[in-house]
Amino acid sequence: MKVFYDKDADVSLLHNRRIAVVGYGSQGHAQALNLRDSGANVVMGLRKGKASWTKAEAAGLSVMPVADAVREADLVVMLIPDESIAEVYAKEVEPALRNGAALVFAHGFNIHYGQVEPRADLDVFMVAPKAPGHTVRSTFVEGAGVPALIAVSQDVSGQAKALALAYATAIGCGRSGIIETDFREETETDLFGEQVVLCGGAVELIKGGFEVLVEAGYSPELAYFECLHELKLIVDLLYEGGVSTMNYSISNNAEFGEYLTGPKIVTEDTKNAMRDALAFIQDGSYAKAFILEAKSGNPVLTSKRNQLKRHQLEVVGAKLRAMMPWIKASALVDKTQN
C-alpha cells in the first residue's frame, strides 16, 4: 500500500481553478473552510432561504444558488446527503456543468450504485476523509489533518489523480496520509463498518448491555456509566495503539474478562450475520432499501429517531452529561455554525 503526503501533491493545480462546494453540512463546511484557508477559490452552492446559506455567509464564504455556483466552477464537490445527490445532480448540477469540469465526491455511494451517471467529458474522482467533518476542520485548524482515501472513476484530462491528491492535501489530509482505492471498495467497506461495527453494532451492544443491567435491578445511572460513558476511555486507547495498547492500560481483571466473555457475545453466529450484512451491501440490496426509504419520506428513520429519544439510556444520559460541563465545553459539534 502506497501512502501519499503533502510532498507528493501539487496544490498549485487548484490555484487557477474555481471550486464549487455543494452543501454546508458536516463535510461541506469543513472542506470549504479548509480549502479557503489553503488559498483555493471557493464558492458555496446552496439553497436560498436555508439556514446553511446564512451560516456559510457568516463564515465569510461566497454563496450562490447551486446552478450559479456550478456554472462558474472547474471542480464541483458534492457534499450533500447521499440520498439527495442524484436529484440535485440531475436537476441543478449536470445542466450547469461546463465541459471538461471535474466532479468530486466524498463517498462512492452514488457512483458505485449508479445513482449518478456522469457525462463522458468529466473527470470524476473521490476524496473521502476518514473522520467526521467537524474533526476534519478542527484538526486542520490545529495544524494537523485526518487520513483520506482517494479514487478515480473517470480521467478525461489525464490529471484526475493529481487533482485528487491536490484537493486532499488542501483540506489537510496530506499531513497524515492519503491512500488510493476505488469507488467500490470505499463504498462497500464504509457501509459495512458503519452498519456492523461503528454505528449499528456499537449502538446495539451499548443498548443491550444497558437494558440487561437495568432489567437485573441495577440503577440506570450505573448502567449508563458502565455501558456507554466509559466506552470513550476504551476507544481512545484503541485509537491510540490498537488492542494491545488497550490491554496494556486496563486491569488484568478487565483483560481476563475480555478473553473469557467477549467470544461468547460475538460468536460465529454473529460473524455469519456480519457476512450476510456484507452480501446485502455488495449486491446492492441495501442501497435500494436506503434509496426507497428516502423517496418515501424517511418513515423508518423518523420512527427510529423518535424511539431512541424516549429510550431510558438517552434520558438518563442527558441528565448525567449535564453534571459534566466539560463534555459540552469540548464538543466537536456546534449546530449553530454548520
How far is the C-alpha of 168 from the C-alpha of 8, rounded, in Å? 11
Position 49 scores a pLDDT of 85
Report helix, strand and coil shares of the chain as percent, to nearest 5. Answer: 60, 10, 30
How far is the C-alpha of 268 from the C-alpha of 279, rounded, in Å? 16
Position 61 scores a pLDDT of 97
Position 330 scores a pLDDT of 78
When pLDDT is cut at 50, 70 and 90, the band that residue 327 belongs to is confident
Position 19 scores a pLDDT of 98
Is 70 exceeded by the pLDDT of residue 337? no
Query: Which long-range contacts link 272-279 to residues 24+ away (Cβ below 8 Å)?
Result: 274/192, 274/196, 277/192, 277/195, 277/196, 278/188, 278/192, 278/196
Rounded to the nearest integer, the mean pLDDT of the chain is 95
Q: How do residues 134-164 score in pLDDT, each as one tens digit?
A: 999 999 999 999 999 999 999 999 999 999 9
Q: Which residue has the cell 456522469?
A: 118
Is 90 exceeded by the pLDDT of residue 333? no
How far is the C-alpha of 27 from the C-alpha of 134, rounded, in Å? 7
Between strands 123-129 and 148-154, the pairing is antiparallel
Mark whether 107 is an active-site residue.
yes
Residue 104: what are its φ and ψ, rounded to 5°?
A: -120, 140
Instruction: Catalytic residue, from 15, 29, 107, 229: name it.
Output: 107
Q: How do residues 89-142 score in pLDDT, each as one tens digit?
A: 999 999 999 999 999 999 999 999 999 999 999 999 999 999 999 999 999 999
SS3 label, residue 318: helix
How far is the C-alpha of 163 from the C-alpha of 312, rounded, in Å? 48
Is 70 exceeded by the pLDDT of residue 31? yes
Position 338 scores a pLDDT of 58
When pLDDT is cut at 50, 70 and 90, the band that residue 336 belongs to is low
Q: What percentage of the chain has pLDDT greater than the value 90?
A: 94
The identity of residue 231, as a single letter, is L
SS3 label, residue 261: helix
DSSP state letter for 98: P
How far is the C-alpha of 173 from the C-alpha of 4, rounded, in Å? 9
Greatest alpha-carbon span in the chain:
66
Q: How do residues 54-88 score in pLDDT, each as one tens digit?
A: 999 999 999 999 999 999 899 999 999 999 999 99
- Nearest in space to 248 (alpha carbons), one of 43, 160, 258, 132: 258
Position 335 scores a pLDDT of 67
- Pinpoint the alpha helices (H) of 94-177: 109-112, 133-141, 160-170
* Paired residues of 194 in beta bridges: none
How far is the C-alpha of 170 from the C-alpha of 40, rounded, in Å? 8
When pLDDT is cut at 50, 70 and 90, the band that residue 271 belongs to is very high
- Nearest in space to 59 (alpha carbons), one of 41, 33, 26, 80: 33
Q: How do residues 176-214 score in pLDDT, each as one tens digit?
A: 999 999 999 999 999 999 999 999 999 999 999 999 999
